[in-house]
Structure formats: C-alpha cells, structure tokens
Amino acid sequence: MLAPEHSVDISDSKPQHSDSINLNENDINIDISDALSEKEKVKFTVHTKTKLPIFQEQEFSVTRQHEEFIWLHDRYNENEEYAGLIIPPAPARPDFDSSRAKLQKLSDSEGSLTRDEYEKMKQELEAEYLAMFKKTVSMHEVFLQRLATHPILRNDNNFRVFLEYKEDLSVRGKNAKEQISGFFKTLTKTADEVFLANQKESDEFFERQKQFLLTYNTKIKDATAAADKATRTQKNITDTYIKLSSGLNTLSTSDKTDLTKYFILLADYFEKARKLESRIQSDIDLKLSDTLRYYMRDSKAALDLMYRRSRCLADFDTANKNLDRARQKNKDVQQAETTQQNIKTKFETISEKAKDELNDFKTRRVQMFRKNLIELTEFQIKHTKAQIQTIKGVIQQYDTLS
C-alpha cells in the first residue's frame, strides 16, 4: 500500500527557471515546488519569485491547500471590477478516492493473484496514482500562472496575500447556509443560460460569440468524456495483459515440450506490450484529454463572462426603461439618469474588455491545441515505432527458437 504520506518531488521534473532565466521587472514567477499527500489533503508548496516592489520579499514559499485556491478563485469571481474578464477556471479538487479504492481492492484480492500479477498490478496502480498527482499539481500551477500573467488580475490584493501570507488563510469550508446559497447560484446559472440564449443581442460580435460558446462548451464536454472513456477502456486491456502474461508463464511451466519457450516468448511480449501501451495511453491522456478538459473549463469561464455581461445588459435595458418612464412621469429623473449612466458605463467597460478577452481566449485555445496535438502525434509515432521494434525483436527470437 502506498504510504498515506506521499511526497512527490516535483522539482526534478521541472526545468529550473530561477537560475537560467532573467526575471523581468514585471514578472511574477510562480511554480509549485512540492506537494504532499496527507490522508485526505494535498498540501502544495507555492513558490514565487518576483522583483515587484509590492511584495515584501523577492523569493518566498507558502503552503496552500486546495480550498485556499478555491477561495482565491471565488474572490476574483465576486469582484465587480473583473466582471468583463475571463477568470481562469479553478483547478479541480484532487481526487484520489478512486485510486485509493482500487489499491484497496487490489490488496483485498492479493490472495487470488500470483506474486507476479500482484506486483505488476501494484506497479500499475502506483504509476496511476503518481500520474494523477502530477496532474493535479500541474492544474493548480497553471491556474496561478495564468493569474500572474494577466495584466489586470495579477494586481489583485487577494492574489498577493495568497502568495505571500505565511499563515493559513483560514478558509473555512462552506457552512450550511453558504452551501444552500451556492446551490441556488447554480440554479440561477442554469436560468442564465436560457436567458442568455434568448437575449436579443445587437452587437454582431457578441452574438456570434454567444452562439459559439454555448455550443462549444457542450461539445467539448462530450469530447472530454469520450476521451476519458477511451483511456479507461484501454487501461482495462493493459490490466488483462498482466493476467495473460502470467497465465502464459504458468502454461509454459506445465508444458514440458518445445512449446515452453514459445509460450514464454508470448508471455514476454504481452509484458513488454503492456508497458508500451500504458505509456501510449498516458500520453493520450495528457495531451488530448487534458487539453480538452482544460478548454472545457476555460470555455465555461468564458461563458461566465458572457452571463455577467448579459445580466448587465439586462440591467441596462431595465435602467433605460426606468429612465424613459421617469422622464414620462417626470419623477425621479435625476436618480434614474444616474443609475442608467452607471450601468451604461459598466456595461460598456465589460463589453470592451470582454472583446479582448474573448479574442485572447481564441488565440490561447488554438495555440494550446496546436501544441498538444503536435506533441500527441509525435509521442504516438515514437511509441508505435517502439512497439514495432519490440515485435520485430520477438519475431527474431521466435526465428532463433525454431
């Protein structure tokens, strides 16, 4: 069983920025240098390097838990000033439950497996656990890094506190009341979607964006789910390879003829194939599934922006109507005017910023897909070539046996 305390040394796998790259005046360089898995919690060590005067030190580290990341995200979301911006999606909660459950199941069935099988399955599970761990670290890291590079968001006070403050942020979990209000928020969100879809939009750009984002979000959600399923089903196959390999080895010991060597050869093949297939799958997972998943979240964040804008637009419409009515009745005109003016400004600011953000979203998306699709293909080619080499080697061995 994996030790409950599991520290992953991330630093090895990352290029060491600090020494080689010159820090720009305006840069905030963030990375998660370490992560510790403790019982139910994961503790991330957030390491920052910056020359900005607003920070007390130039290089510092703090320990943060997932909830604190969510807290930060919520602060951004609530802030009216950022209404016109796409808030980077919050990282998903680290979920090792399924991994742990599998590990438990494995140790329960230890008796029914051969030593060999047990070892291999354990290896597989541990690799899976490790991969998930690395992924969650990466997700949390990317979240912070996006904030750090965004010209407006990086200046947020809460962000600074998050990076700097040595103590716990004492982010309590939501109490009952907040959970219920959170629940209602999601309801209103769904209402928003319908609202947004039906809202009349005079601006062509936003109309197009709206249509695009609504559909895109749905489709990419499907694609992400499909990619995950493909990975899962493939994993089942590689698990069976373990059994095959083991069964063939058993067969080879009981078969006392020439066939013994051939069975061993076949068993060997399945073992090698298993390792290669695992790598193939994990690469597909990393390059394709994760990209899809990220953009599923990011497109959701863009949609959130659209909702905010649309609510503002609705308010604007209402304010306009109120103003007209006030003018008609000639009552409270001043007040109505001021309100209308405020909302108008707000709306225009949002729209302006939103335009930039949405364009930026597209650029980012295309870039990331491009990078990952190319890497995906290159990895697949590399692994397939390795498969071919393995099989050729096995065929050669077969020939020498015959």
Partner 1 sequence: MSNDLEHRSSPPDFGDDEMKDDDQMFKSATLPVTDDIPLSEDDEEDENPFGEPSVSKKASTNINELSTKNDTPLTIPSVTPIAVLESPPMKQDNQFFPSDTGINSIESSTQPVYENQSSAISKPITNENISTTKPIQKPKEDHNIEITVNDPTKVGEGMSSYMTYRITTKTSLSMFKQKEFSVNRRFSDFLGLHTKLVSKHLQMGVIIPSPPEKDSLSMAKVKISKDEGIPTDFIDRRRSQLERYLNRLAHHDKLIQDPDFRDFIEMSSDLPKSTSTQALSSAGVLRALSNITNQVTKLTTKTSEQDQWFEEKHTFILDLHTNFKQLFNHFNTLFTQRKEAGQALKLLSTSLNHLATIEEHTLLSSALIELANVEEKIEQINIDHSLKEYTLISELIKEYISLLEMVQLAFQERIKLHQQWLTAEDTLKKKREAKLKLEQTAKNVDKLPQAEMEINEWDGKVIRGKEEFERISTSIKQELENFEQTRIDDFKQGIQLYFQQLLEQQEKILEIWESYLPEANKINL
Residue carrying the six token digits 């006030």? 326
* Cβ 382 to partner 1 shortest distance, Å: 9
Closer to partner 1 by CB, 191 or 395: give it. 395
Closer to partner 1 by CB, 47 or 293: give it. 293
* Cβ 107 to partner 1 shortest distance, Å: 22
* Cβ 306 to partner 1 shortest distance, Å: 15
Length, in residues, of the chain: 402
Burial label, 134 (beta-carbon count in 10 A; 0-12, 13-18, 19+): middle
* Cβ 377 to partner 1 shortest distance, Å: 5
Closer to partner 1 by CB, 142 or 247: give it. 247
Closer to partner 1 by CB, 26 or 218: give it. 218
Closer to partner 1 by CB, 152 or 226: give it. 226
| Site residues (vs partner 1, CB under 8 A) | 212, 215-216, 219-220, 222-223, 225-227, 229-230, 232-234, 236-237, 240-241, 243-244, 247-248, 250-251, 254-259, 262-263, 265-266, 269, 362-363, 365-367, 369-370, 373-374, 376-378, 380-381, 384-385, 387-388, 391-392, 394-395, 398, 402
d(CA 292, CA 105): 30
Closer to partner 1 by CB, 202 or 236: give it. 236
* Cβ 160 to partner 1 shortest distance, Å: 33
Sheet holding 28-38, edge to edge: 5-8, 28-38, 41-50, 59-65
Q: Specify the DSSP class assigned to residue 38.
A: E
* Cβ 230 to partner 1 shortest distance, Å: 4
What are the beta bridge partners of residue 5? 38
Closer to partner 1 by CB, 155 or 363: give it. 363
* Cβ 147 to partner 1 shortest distance, Å: 24
**Looking at this protein, which amino acid is placed at residue 220?**
I
Among the listed residues 58, 85, 37, the one whose alpha carbon sits nearest the alpha carbon of residue 304: 85
Alpha-helix residue ranges (DSSP H) falling in 173-258: 176-198, 204-254
* Cβ 86 to partner 1 shortest distance, Å: 16
Classify 55 in phi/psi space as left (phi over 0), alpha (psi -120 to 50) or beta. Answer: beta
Q: Contact 347/312 with Cβ under 8 angstroms?
A: yes
Instruction: For the chain, report the end-to-end CA distance as a whole number of angstroms.
Output: 43
Closer to partner 1 by CB, 289 or 340: give it. 289
Residue carrying the six token digits 């690395």? 134
Question: Measured at the alpha carbon of residue 234, what is the angle toward residues 101 and 138, in degrees to the nearest 5?
Answer: 65
What are the beta bridge partners of residue 46? 32, 62
